[in-house]
Structures are given as structure tokens and as C-alpha cells.
Amino acid sequence: LPKDSFKPSTGWAWAGDWFVSPEKTLLHDMDAGHTSFVEEVFENQVRLPGGQWIHMAEAYTDVNGEKILPKEEIECPLGWKWEDVEWDTDLNRAVDEKGWEYGITIPPDNKTKSWVPAEKMYHTNRRRRWVRLRRRDLAQMEALKKYKQEELEGEGWEYASLFGWSFHMKYRKTDSFRRRRWRRRMEPLEHTGPAAVFALEGALGGVTDDKSDDGKSVSTLNFGVNRPTISCIFDYGNRYHLRCYIYQARDLLAMDKDSFSDPYAIVSFV
């Protein structure tokens, strides 16, 4: 819906106009907090069973199979410098002597789910991992801070190669879609009496089920879009101590087909 079609919930009023609000988690790259980082890219090839290996249309992808730039076109990010002179094949994995691992694509999937180091005649896909180490360049830190600030204060666009893929803040040559998030704050009309937050749930209605046992129409689902985000905004910074405990449980029903148990975390703030 257009922004003008949104109306405040019962007991609430708009506080200000719409503003661009990028997802701040996208500002933190995988290398955030590291002084060294291994850049990786996967080279992919395909063949008919028993045929010759040829490069795929998406010759270079990330570990999840999403298309990225060829390794020759990947530039060292601002604030970093290459430690390795050239890209190198990663042989410290379950791969053959040339770094290849093999698999097949089973419909309706369009990507290989599992890989093995030994080549078989029925294998139709193979890939190998190229890596290159980079380190923080302290001489570029001031320029990096300025760049990050400009990125945060920019137009707020997020980019993706295909619609439905994960979005990122920095534009890449392979991107064909972009989006940006708009937000508008609300405030309660009354500051006394029952908290206006209780009027949010179900304020815009939900999906009804006409086939209930008693013949009455009951609400069965409230979409998440009907519930505004409730934010607690602080005027000053706070420091917390985060403790995480990771457990591996046994004899539990797994959430996927790859294992018999799933890890879970207990997180506490002190």
C-alpha cells in the first residue's frame, strides 16, 4: 500500500512525518569486529552425466549458491588491504586434490544440497572454494568512518541480485532490485488510563474462519503487519554484559533432516 493509505491505530496519533529508516543490522558486515578476514568465492561447473565439465551461467557464487562477482573483479573493501597476493584454492576441506567437491541437483531444488570429495559418473555439479586473506589497514580508518557515516545518512536503499534474496546496503554490479524502508512514529492520544499499547493487537482486524464448530465467525489470524513495532528509544548509551550458553541436546526431534539434535542458546543480560 502507498504510505498515505496507512492510518494510526485506535488510541494513537501520528507523531511526525514518514522518514527513511534503513535496517541497521545491514550496516554490520560479516567482517565486523575482525582485524583479519578470509574472503571466499565458489567457482561452479556443470555437466551432463558422463559429459565434460563447463562453467555455469552463474560461474561464481557464495557458499549458499547466490551469484556474486568473479574473484578477479572483487575489490578489497575500504579500510582493508590484501594480505595474500593472489587467490588460492582451499584444500583444507573434504575435496579432491584440485579442490573440487561434487554433487547432484534433485528437482524441485535448483541448487545442490550436499557435496562429496569423490567424483562419480552421475555427478552433475562441482565447485571449489577460492580464498584470499585481508587485514585491517589502520591508515584508512578515518576514511572508513566517514564513508560509514555517509552510508548511514544516504538515501537508505537496500540492494539484491534477485527479488526474495537477502538484501545488502552496498550496491554490487550483479544487483537488479532495490528497496528502502519508511517509518512513521505514533504516540498515544491519552497519557492516563489503560495503556494504549493494549489497543494495538487486533486493531486492524484479522482473517476470520466461517467454519467454526459453533457456527460463529472467529478470528484465527492477525497478520504481523497489523502490529506496529514498539521501540524503546534512549537518549544516552548503555553498556551491558552479554552471556551466552550453547548446549547440544540428545534424543530430541530435530528441526531439519540433517541431524538428530539441534543446538539452542540461553542468553542473559547482566
Long-range contacts of 50-59 (CB under 8 A, 24+ apart): 50/121, 53/126
Can you tell me the distance from the alpha carbon of 119 to that of 121, in angstroms, rounded to the nearest whole number?
7
Which segments of 110-194 does DSSP mark as H helices, in order? 141-152
Check: CB of residue 216 under 8 Å from CB of residue 235. no
- pLDDT value at position 33? 75
Check: CB of residue 171 under 8 Å from CB of residue 155. no
Reply yes or no: is the peptide bond before residue 194 cis, omega within 30 of 0: no
Instruction: Record the cell numbers describing residue 250, joined without a space.
Output: 540428545
- pLDDT value at position 119? 92
Give the sign of the dihedral formed by CA 139, CA 142, CA 145, CA 146.
negative
Can you tell me the distance from the alpha carbon of 266 to that of 199, in angstroms, rounded to the nearest whole number?
32
CA gyration radius, the chain: 25
- Specify the 3-state DSSP secondary structure of 3: helix
Instruction: Name the residue with cell 558422463.
Output: 50
Residue 216 φ/ψ, nearest 5 degrees: -95, 150
- pLDDT value at position 158? 85
**Strand partners for 88:** 131
pTM, whole model, 2 decimals?
0.57
Check: CB of residue 248 under 8 Å from CB of residue 261. yes
**Strand partners for 89:** 130
Check: CB of residue 202 under 8 Å from CB of residue 219. yes
Alpha-carbon distances of 180 from 21, 76, 149, rounded to whole Å: 8, 26, 17
Sort strands 12-14 and 186-188 into parallel, antiparallel or unpaired: antiparallel
Going residue by residue through the chain (270 aa), what tens digit of pLDDT does each one get? 888 888 887 778 898 899 888 777 666 677 777 889 999 999 999 998 878 999 888 899 999 888 888 999 999 888 889 999 999 999 999 999 999 999 998 888 888 889 999 999 999 999 999 999 999 888 877 777 776 666 666 678 888 887 777 787 777 777 888 888 888 888 888 765 556 666 665 554 444 555 555 554 444 444 444 556 666 777 787 788 877 776 666 666 666 666 555 666 666 665
